Amino acid sequence: MAVHRVGAEARLDSSEWMGREVVLKQRVVKGYRHPSLDRSLQTFRIKNEVRLMFEARRAGIAVPIIYSVDYANNRIVMEEVKGVRVKDALNELPEPKARAVCAKIGEIAARLHANDIVHGDLTTSNMLLEGERIVLIDFSLGSKTSELEDKGVDMHLLEEAFHSAHHQMSGLYEVVKDAYVRTDPHGEQVLKKVKEIEKRGRYTRKE
Ligand SMILES: Nc1ncnc2c1ncn2[C@@H]1O[C@H](COP(=O)(O)OP(=O)(O)O)[C@@H](O)[C@H]1O
Ligand SMILES: [Mg+2]
């Protein structure tokens, strides 16, 4: 099986469903809450994730096709993307290709934000590179909002991911930012907000 992962919030397994290769994303039920509260929270979260995937698709962003949403079992049945995580691919690619991927990442972020979709965990671990296309996954922490602050947090997380995982090739995050602003001019305001968030972060760390 290609995908098998047990995370804190969800387990993922490759499987076959109606003759298709799929990934089952099943939310892990935490035993410590009230059972019926737990159930409604899980249902809410799955609905949220599914809704954001649809919204992203409508905004022209590649996301896995959803085949079925199974509330009884807390799971989403989706297309298995035959790609590698951008996190793993980026450092192996020759520089021109890596820069092209980064430009696409910037475009994707801009499209999300222009449509008031905040991903919530916008890192290169949640992007799969399949041939030339980037498929965005894991909308479980996402929301629909026009708040600059939330969009800023998305971009701040993305920047941190680049600084920690993709620092070998310099200037890659600059490519992301350039494409972000080029795709959506409002992105300038978001990037200004990021500076504010980072200043706040430094200040808090000093205390
Ligand atoms: N549709 C998919 N196709 C292929 N691999 C996937 C798919 N969805 C998730 N994965 C793999 O499973 C990993 C974890 O999935 P993700 O949705 O990010 O859950 P979480 O990070 O909450 O555990 C991803 O990093 C990716 O490697
Ligand atoms: Mg993830």
5 touches ligand 1 (CB under 6 Å): yes
Task: Return per-residue pLDDT of the chain as tens, 207 residues.
Answer: 588 988 878 999 999 999 999 999 998 877 666 878 888 888 999 999 999 999 999 999 999 999 999 988 899 999 999 999 999 999 999 999 999 999 999 999 999 999 999 999 999 999 999 999 999 999 999 999 999 999 999 999 999 999 998 887 889 999 999 999 999 999 999 999 999 999 998 776 554
User: Which CATH superfamily hosts domain 4-79?
Assistant: Phosphorylase Kinase; domain 1 (3.30.200.20)
> For 4-7, which contacts have Cβ atoms below 8 Å and span 24 or more sequence positions?
none
> Distance (Å, rounded) from C-alpha 103 to C-alpha 53?
21
| Residues belonging to the chain | 207
> Distance (Å, rounded) from C-alpha 48 to C-alpha 140?
7
Instruction: Name the CATH architecture for the domain at 84-206.
Output: Orthogonal Bundle (1.10)
61 touches ligand 1 (CB under 6 Å): no
138 touches ligand 1 (CB under 6 Å): yes
Q: 171: burial class by Cβ within 10 Å (0-12, 13-18, 19+)? A: exposed
DSSP state, residue 125: G
Q: How far apart are the first and last CA of the chain?
A: 47
Q: What are the boundaries of each domain within the chain?
A: 4-79, 84-206
Q: Which ligand gives the minimal distance to the CA of 53?
A: 1
